[in-house]
Amino acid sequence: MSAEAAPPPPHAADRLLAAIEAKRAPGCVGLDPVRDKLPASCPRGGPDTPLPDASERILFFCMDVIRAVAPFVPCIKLQSACFERLGPSAASHVRSLTEAAHQLGLEVILDAKRGDIGLTAAHYAQAAFPDEQRGPGGAGADWLTINSYLGEDAITPFLRPAPPSSHGAFALARTSNPGGDTIQNLQLKDGRTVAEAVGEMIARIGADHVGERGYSSLGAVVGATKPQDARRLRAVMPQQIFLVPGYGAQGGGIDDVLPCFNSDGTGALVTASRSIIYAFKPDDPKWMDSVADAAAQFADEVGRAVGMR
């Protein structure tokens, strides 16, 4: 008797939506670790143990942050630059944090904003995602942020065939930084902005990767600080999950992020980073409690705003 074939892995968007519903909060905590902001009680070594280097201290800190926020949010986002600057240990730390998050049932976004074409883009995808045929990728992430401003051939290498589309990408559409206005707000001859034209491209490409819940494994990055643009982009991209940076420390609030959601309260994932992972005083011995409280408050705010609580 032949063994039964393993079921296909869940579609990335379906899996993310299920995780959001389980926590009743469309929220993601971003891990942007900086050595100078670590709590004083973060492991420093002692007389009988070597002093951990900056890389190790950041790993310890991020592990504790993940444990603190896991009960409240469905997802974490690892800022690749904060780890890459640590040197050779970066890849192993990202992999360790991803595995720890997965053990706690969290979705993991690698925020690397990769942007290249052809074979180079395929290499970047292999570095970010597990490969069902050839084993785990370098990071093992569920989602990756990518730069869509190189066009379609810089997007498609990051998408898995449908089915199963088990890993997904968030393509830049309307970013939260003020400098993005210079390009993204430019008006084309037909009246659309550059961001809207990019949004239409994302929607078209993503239409081939839609799961059972009606959302694509190709999502879009739409900043919380651009609510008027978000309304137009939501109409352009009804099947995209929006990854929404800019909440909290960057100035975005609840009223700013609501236009990113569809009318039923689905379709967006709000991210907060510094306002949560540094929600403590440097000498606070119970700093993890402060991080957990901030994550719980954040989850409650966004969950209530979209009717999940």
Q: What gap in Å lies between CA 146 and CA 3, rounded to an integer?
A: 38
Residue 4 forms part of a structural domain: no
Residue 92 located in a structural domain? yes
pLDDT of residue 171: 98
Question: What local confidence, expressed as pLDDT, does residue 138 receive?
Answer: 65
The pLDDT assigned to 134 comes to 45
Here the CATH number for the domain that contains residue 33 is 3.20.20.70
Query: Mean pLDDT across the chain, nearest whole number?
Result: 89
At 181-224, the pLDDT tens digits run 999 999 999 999 999 999 999 999 999 999 999 999 999 999 98
In-domain check, residue 29 = yes
Structural domain contains residue 7: no
CA proximity to 147, closest of 202, 65, 197: 202
pLDDT confidence tier of residue 6, bands split at 50, 70 and 90: low
Helical (H) or strand (E) element with 84: helix 80-84
DSSP single-letter state for residue 280: S
Q: Containing domain of residue 16, as a range?
A: 12-305
Question: Pick from 225, 289, 275, 232: which is nearest to 251 by CA?
Answer: 225
- Residue 125: pLDDT band by 50, 70, 90 thresholds? confident
Average pLDDT rounded to a whole number, residues 163-189: 90
| Any domain includes 6 | no
Q: For 212-260, how does the pLDDT look when each residue is reduced to its tens digit (9 = 90+)?
A: 999 999 999 999 888 889 999 999 999 999 999 988 767 778 999 999 9
What values do phi and psi take at 139, rounded to 5?
Answer: -100, -35
Residues labelled as active-site residues: 113
Specify the number of domains making up the chain: 1
- Amino acid at residue number 92: S
> Is residue 213 situated within a structural domain?
yes
Q: Is the pLDDT of residue 13 over 90?
A: yes
Sort 122 into a burial class: Cβ within 10 Å, 0-12 / 13-18 / 19+.
Answer: middle
Sorting pLDDT into bands at 50, 70 and 90, what band is 176? Answer: confident
- Does any domain span residue 2? no
**Tokens 């992430």 — which residue?**
141
H runs (alpha helix) in 135-226: 181-184, 194-206
Is 146 within a domain?
yes
Q: What pLDDT is stored for residue 46 in this prediction?
A: 47
For residue 42, pLDDT over 90 is answered with no
Look up tokens 């001859």; give the residue. 189
Residue with the larger pLDDT of the pair 205 and 116: 205
